[in-house]
Structure 1
Amino acid sequence: MGREPIITVIGSINMDLVVSVDRKPNRGETVKGESFDTLPGGKGANQAIALARLGATVNMVGMVGDDAFGYELKSNLEKENVQVEAVGVTEGISTGVAVITIAENDNSIAVVSGANEKVTPAYIREYEKIIKQSDIVLTQFEVPISTVEEAAMICEKHGIPIVLNPAPFEKLSDSLLDKVTYLTPNQHEYELIKGYKRYFENDYQSKLIITKGEVGAVFFENEKPQIVSAFTVQPIDTTGAGDTFNSAFTYMMTKTNNIEEACRFSNAAAALSVLKKGAQLGMPTKEEVNSFLSEQQSE
């Protein structure tokens, strides 16, 4: 089987403030909440933990504030076997938070970046050695886009593949798109991307992996979309499903050149992730994903 991959995640570290309600409030309306939880989150941290659960050696590059949330989140990453050498603590700025409302088996999220804005190009250059020793890099847009562009330049310099999860959506420059190995928008982000002609040239279509929730995932082969169907489960909390998919896909692309196989594994991981509350609690191990896939094949 060979060694497990070394994967670097560059991205956000947040505390999720989660409110569960029976239904989403209308504009100007107050509704009574059912429960409240404080849970570790942030797309970067979520993806790092999902990768560690799958067995990868994971380096996290990010920032937290000099506050209770920050120290708790850094400790949580360590507990999950994520390397935190490159997780800085910045004074005078709060740790990032996400306010998540769960209703009707779906979620809506408002994010305050806080210390994540301090993950600058200069900051990640300090950790170029970590990046160049990686088998692959995963990043998103909850840190400044200039930082993502710098990460892509470092990866190109050292011949390291990079997966970009373009969430929350930002317009991608041609330069960044040229350097990205795989681009993983969800359906909403893909609709925004469709406004850019270059995304539909064949060379760029081949980089697209589109996540479509209950439908599954779509990639392009010879300019034709290929659907990898999702697995049917009864979700408890969909928060973190996209992060789990991205992590599983990144992990599997170090193991195989078969995108369809990687998407199937990632769909299974995402399905398992929604069976528990919170972005990180349900993220599965590699053994759990493989067991789930075996069960699906035997049915």
Structure 2
Amino acid sequence: MSAKVVVVGSLNMDLVTRASRLPRGGETLIGQSFATVCGGKGANQAVAAARLGAQVSMVGCVGTDAYGQVLRQALLDEGIDCRAVSAVEGTSGVALIVVDDNSQNAIVIVAGANGALTPAVLGCFDAALQEADVIICQLEIPDATVGHALKRGRELGKTVILNPAPASRPLPQEWYASIDYLIPNESEAAALSGLPVDSLQTAQIAATRLIDMGAGKVIITLGAQGSLFADGKGFEHFPAPSVKALDTTAAGDTFVGGFAAALVAGMSEAQAIRFGQVAAALSVTRAGAQPSIPTLADVQAFKTP
């Protein structure tokens, strides 16, 4: 394989508990189960792209704790190039996740070593960016590093994808000119655009605003309602495959990784979106972050119920 996806982002150990519902403020619930699962949006997207057929390199930081060793090995086991995954003194990133009986989740992230991925560290691995066809970023690493990766990707003429997650505020305006594909979910699109996103129609309005702000193309993922693609010339709605959801953790990451893998495989935008949607649909039928991500064979074998 010569086509390459390079992911600049986070690696977290997910500490996952299941409960009948999400706790209210000040409340203690009895949980049903607990597991430690390799995650982090960057690592999840790298695993998704690798399992779905792409050659992948990861740029990130882990701690010198036991979690760091496990997180790095998990990527190596997927055939992901980890030469740009640095071990820094201290703890690895963690995510505390509660999943309820309706498959909804609540997540608290502690950055840990992810905060050590500075522009200077990224600069040490510029060769990885130069070798990329597609560069993917998220928002679980320092903003300055994200901005550097986006700008450098544009300078190198690469296809640049930003999954603005987690997003609670507008992005720096100068970022938009470097983004080929901005891929937020409903809440992220609302945070970035300053507009409500609660229907297909409002998603179109928000996508238009984001393109007006400078993004090349926008794909808003709408969960069970599918995805909305906008390119400034029009819109296309892609209905979601119908599946029974068990756990939505990493569904968005699976879509992003699958979309990128499909692009480097030569698929059209529409084909890549549908490919990513099938991968994401399969992921929600399984528990966990990286364990839920399907393989290329799984996607190819998928039949709509």
Aligned CA distance change for structure 1 residues 222 and 94 (closer, same or farther; 3 Å): closer
1:143-182 paired onto structure 2 within 5 Å: 143-169=141-167, 170-182=169-181
Give the corresponding residue for 1:280: 290
Among 95, 102, 112, the residue aligned to 2:99? 102
Q: Can you list the C-alpha shifts for 1:142-181, whole angstroms capped at 9, x where unaligned?
A: 0011101111121122111110000111532222100111
Following the alignment from structure 2 to structure 1, what is the Cα–Cα distance between the partners of residues 176 and 209?
Answer: 9
Among 46, 51, 67, the residue aligned to 2:49? 51
Following the alignment from structure 2 to structure 1, what is the Cα–Cα distance between the partners of residues 231 and 85?
Answer: 38
1:204 shift after superposition? 4.0
Aligned CA distance change for structure 1 residues 206 and 229 (closer, same or farther; 3 Å): farther
Following the alignment from structure 1 to structure 2, what is the Cα–Cα distance between the partners of residues 16 and 26?
Answer: 21
1:228 shift after superposition? 0.2
Following the alignment from structure 1 to structure 2, what is the Cα–Cα distance between the partners of residues 212 and 69?
Answer: 32
Give the corresponding residue for 1:33: 31
After superposing on structure 2, the runs of 4+ consecutive aligned residues of structure 1 that deviate more than 6 Å are none
Give the corresponding residue for 1:121: 119
Aligned CA distance change for structure 1 residues 265 and 257 (closer, same or farther; 3 Å): closer
Structure 1 residue 215 and structure 2 residue 225: aligned?
Answer: yes
Aligned CA distance change for structure 1 residues 280 and 14 (closer, same or farther; 3 Å): same
What is the RMSD computed on CA atoms of the aligned residues?
A: 1.8
Aligned CA distance change for structure 1 residues 21 and 15 (closer, same or farther; 3 Å): same
Following the alignment from structure 1 to structure 2, what is the Cα–Cα distance between the partners of residues 62 and 79?
Answer: 16
Contact 1:202 1:223 in 2 (8 A): no
Following the alignment from structure 2 to structure 1, what is the Cα–Cα distance between the partners of residues 162 and 131?
Answer: 18
After superposing the two structures, state which structure 1 stretch, 109-118 or 51-60, moved more.
51-60
Among 239, 252, 257, the residue aligned to 1:247? 257
Aligned CA distance change for structure 1 residues 199 and 138 (closer, same or farther; 3 Å): same
Which residue identity lines up with residue 212 of structure 1 in the other structure? L
SS state at 1:142 partner: coil
Among 8, 11, 20, the residue aligned to 2:9? 11
Give the corresponding residue for 2:192: 193
Give the corresponding residue for 1:230: 240
Which residue identity lines up with residue 189 of structure 1 in the other structure? E
Q: Which residues of structure 2 form unaligned runs of 5+? A: 196-205
Q: Which residues of structure 1 form unaligned runs of 5+? A: none
Contact 1:152 1:176 in 2 (8 A): yes
SS state at 2:292 partner: coil
Structure 1 residue 23 and structure 2 residue 33: aligned?
Answer: no
Report the number of matched residues.
Answer: 292
Give the corresponding residue for 1:290: 300
Aligned CA distance change for structure 1 residues 200 and 82 (closer, same or farther; 3 Å): closer
Following the alignment from structure 1 to structure 2, what is the Cα–Cα distance between the partners of residues 176 and 182?
Answer: 12
Following the alignment from structure 1 to structure 2, what is the Cα–Cα distance between the partners of residues 206 and 256?
Answer: 19
Which residue identity lines up with residue 286 of structure 2 in the other structure? K
Contact 1:11 1:142 in 2 (8 A): yes
Contact 1:5 1:254 in 2 (8 A): yes
Aligned CA distance change for structure 1 residues 86 and 223 (closer, same or farther; 3 Å): same
Q: TM-score if structure 1 supplies the norm length?
A: 0.93
